[in-house]
């Protein structure tokens, strides 16, 4: 367990540094490392569209298919050839981003707790992707396709499931169009199973990221088109059961398993595949931290606004008819789906600290960090602030540790997730004596709870309810996303923000202290 954690921690540091470098070039929305899942779906869509086109135009008889593919590859290269190359490179891209996505989720620890369902259902998709791709090589029916088909048959022949060896189908004079129709059926049926598996995979996440940003999508498509033109996909010679090819150019993304089998044995390859699968399936069973309390709904304070329902990243909130208010709805939390992130509490309109009640109780809240206790902590720390530029920092437990910024002139309130922050707390801090408010958390794509960063930013910029009131001076608010390894950047951001505030106060020539007051939030 310690060895796994050591590997994961070290790998995560490296991963986050790579992501930061790509952020500097492409921005978070266009960073492929932060959207590997969406890129995987994108490659699936490209492979499906190009595959349907190829299925329509190609002759699919065992004697005609190679000639047909050669025609569209060379004679109609400007359409058929490009479509074939796009199909091939999209399939290769799918394998690449799938494995990187698997590695990234492991490094971020997203295989246990409430993540277990997505992790477990993702394991079968790995083998369905490989089965789909390998079957595609058979349909070309060139020397490489024949080699792959025979090697696959030899691998499956080791299992005691066939009365006759599958390799007998590749004896001269045995193969016919009926067998080739079976290959076509497999290459259509397995991708359909893959789509079903992907649908199951995302069932416990709301607003799934199944399409990358426009810039990333267009850039990826342009890259695939350029690759298709510079290095188009071509076939080997026509499959010949009576001859052994002199050389084969193997697609190592998919077909590495064949040389591995010949290097070892079919039994060893089955053992390695089984061990790899069992290891992935066993990861969620490793010892983990005690599960945090889930969100709790307070019916008298829930007005059925549905904001928590819309904002929950995992579909853990449902709306039911209110038992005491006919025509109204009441939020209900599904325990097994709740990630204990607090994003729902940040979305609740009753979470405003301006409510003139001594004990602040919200419509939905987190027992381990209730909004009322957050208000009390903020008031206590605001009263103790001193210095020319007093700053309140709202941090995130999953990002750079904002607690290291605490000081006489800096009050830090560390949240479970930045998404727990109700925007009205920013205004309350400014009214309570802070000269400025710094909000920090995970970078986009790194959020442990998927939407904490995005929802917080949209609420603070007025694009999502509940939003920060436009009367709050924008120059008094700074947002600085920083992952765990970016503590130095967060400190530099705080120092720069303090200088900005001091310049503002010098220009305004008036104090910034306000008397905290609670008002009934309408």
pLDDT in tens, 5-52: 888 889 998 999 999 899 989 988 899 999 999 999 999 999 999 999
Query: What mean pLDDT, rounded, does the chain reach?
Result: 92
Nearest to 455 by CA among 298, 294, 310: 310
| Length, in residues, of the chain | 522
∠ Cα 434 479 343 (to 5°): 95
Does residue 55 contact residue 227 with C-beta atoms inside 8 Å? Answer: no
Residue whose structure tokens are 């931290």: 289
Instruction: Tell me the C-alpha distance between 136 and 87, whole Å.
Output: 10
For the chain, residues classed under CATH 1.20.810.10 are 36-285
Binning pLDDT at 50, 70 and 90, where does residue 279 land? Answer: very high
The DSSP bridge partners found for residue 317 are: 333
Q: Does pLDDT of 482 surpass 90?
A: yes
Tell which CATH classification among 1.20.810.10, 1.10.10.10, 1.20.140.10, 2.60.40.10 matches the domain 36-285: 1.20.810.10
Tell me the CB-side half-sphere exposure of residue 237, using CA atoms within 13 A: 8
Instruction: Tell me the C-alpha distance between 282 and 264, whole Å.
Output: 26
**Count of Cβ atoms closer than 10 Å to residue 240 Cβ:** 12
Share of the chain above pLDDT 90, in %: 77
Binning pLDDT at 50, 70 and 90, where does residue 508 land? Answer: low
pLDDT in tens, 95-120: 999 999 999 999 999 998 889 999 99
Strand locations in 228-316, DSSP E?
A: 296-297
Residue 418's alpha-carbon distances to 201, 395, 421, 517, in angstroms, are 26, 7, 6, 24
Residue 75's alpha-carbon distances to 5, 80, 140, in angstroms, are 55, 9, 17
Instruction: Tell me the C-alpha distance between 27 and 213, whole Å.
Output: 11
Nearest to 269 by CA among 277, 260, 278: 260
Binning pLDDT at 50, 70 and 90, where does residue 433 land? Answer: very high
Instruction: Tell me the C-alpha distance between 314 and 456, whole Å.
Output: 17
Q: In the prediction, which pLDDT does 352 show?
A: 94
Does residue 319 contact residue 329 with C-beta atoms inside 8 Å? Answer: yes
* Pairing state between β 296-297 and 364-365: antiparallel
Instruction: Tell me the C-alpha distance between 364 and 366, whole Å.
Output: 7
Nearest to 342 by CA among 361, 364, 373: 364
Ramachandran angles phi, psi of 305, nearest 5°: -70, -20
Overall pTM > 0.85: yes
DSSP state of 113: G
∠ Cα 245 246 251 (to 5°): 75
């Amino acid at each position: 367990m310690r060895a796994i954690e050591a590997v994961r921690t070290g790998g995560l540091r490296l991963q986050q540094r790579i992501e930061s470098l790509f952020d500097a070039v492409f921005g978070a929305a266009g960073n492929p490392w932060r959207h590997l899942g969406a890129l995987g779906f994108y490659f699936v869509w490209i492979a499906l569209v190009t595959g349907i086109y190829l299925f329509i135009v190609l002759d699919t008889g065992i004697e005609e298919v190679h000639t047909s593919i050669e025609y569209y590859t060379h004679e109609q290269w400007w359409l058929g050839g490009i479509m074939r190359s796009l199909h091939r490179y999209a399939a290769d891209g799918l394998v690449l981003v799938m494995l990187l996505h698997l590695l990234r989720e492991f490094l971020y620890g997203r295989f246990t707790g409430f993540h277990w369902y997505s992790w477990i259902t993702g394991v079968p998709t790995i083998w369905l992707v490989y089965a789909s791709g390998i079957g595609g090589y058979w349909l070309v029916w060139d020397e490489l396709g024949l080699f792959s088909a025979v090697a696959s048959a030899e691998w499956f022949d080791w299992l005691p499931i066939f009365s006759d060896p599958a390799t007998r189908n590749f004896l001269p004079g045995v193969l016919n169009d009926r067998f080739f129709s079976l290959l076509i059926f497999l290459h259509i049926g397995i991708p359909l199973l893959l789509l079903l598996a992907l649908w199951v995979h995302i069932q416990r996440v709301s607003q799934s990221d199944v399409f990358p940003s426009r810039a990333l999508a267009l850039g990826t498509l342009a890259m695939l088109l350029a690759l298709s033109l510079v290095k188009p996909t071509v076939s080997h010679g026509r499959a010949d059961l009576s001859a052994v090819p002199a050389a084969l150019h193997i697609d190592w993304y998919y077909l590495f398993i064949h040389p591995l089998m010949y290097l070892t044995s079919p039994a060893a390859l089955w053992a390695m595949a089984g061990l790899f699968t069992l290891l992935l399936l066993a990861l969620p069973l490793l010892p983990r931290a005690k599960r945090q309390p889930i969100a709790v709904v307070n019916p008298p304070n829930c007005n059925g606004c549905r904001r928590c329902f819309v904002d929950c990243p995992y579909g853990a909130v449902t709306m039911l008819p209110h038992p005491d208010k006919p025509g109204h709805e009441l939020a209900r939390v599904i325990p097994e789906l709740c990630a204990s992130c607090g994003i729902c509490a940040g979305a609740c309109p009753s979470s405003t600290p301006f409510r003139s009640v001594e004990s602040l109780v919200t419509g939905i809240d987190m027992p381990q960090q209730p909004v009322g206790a957050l208000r009390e902590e903020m008031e206590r720390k605001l009263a103790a602030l001193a210095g020319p530029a007093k700053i309140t920092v709202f941090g995130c437990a999953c990002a750079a540790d904002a607690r290291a910024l605490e000081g006489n002139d800096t009050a830090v309130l560390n949240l479970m997730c930045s998404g727990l922050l109700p925007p009205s707390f920013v205004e309350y801090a400014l009214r309570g004596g802070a000269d400025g408010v710094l909000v920090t958390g995970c970078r986009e794509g790194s959020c442990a709870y998927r939407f904490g960063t995005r929802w917080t930013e949209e609420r603070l910029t007025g694009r999502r309810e509940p939003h920060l009131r436009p009367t709050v001076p924008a120059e008094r608010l700074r947002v600085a996303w920083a992952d765990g390894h970016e503590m130095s950047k967060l400190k530099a951001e705080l120092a720069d923000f303090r200088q900005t505030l001091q310049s503002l106060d010098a220009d305004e020539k008036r104090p910034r202290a306000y008397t905290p007051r609670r008002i009934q939030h309408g």
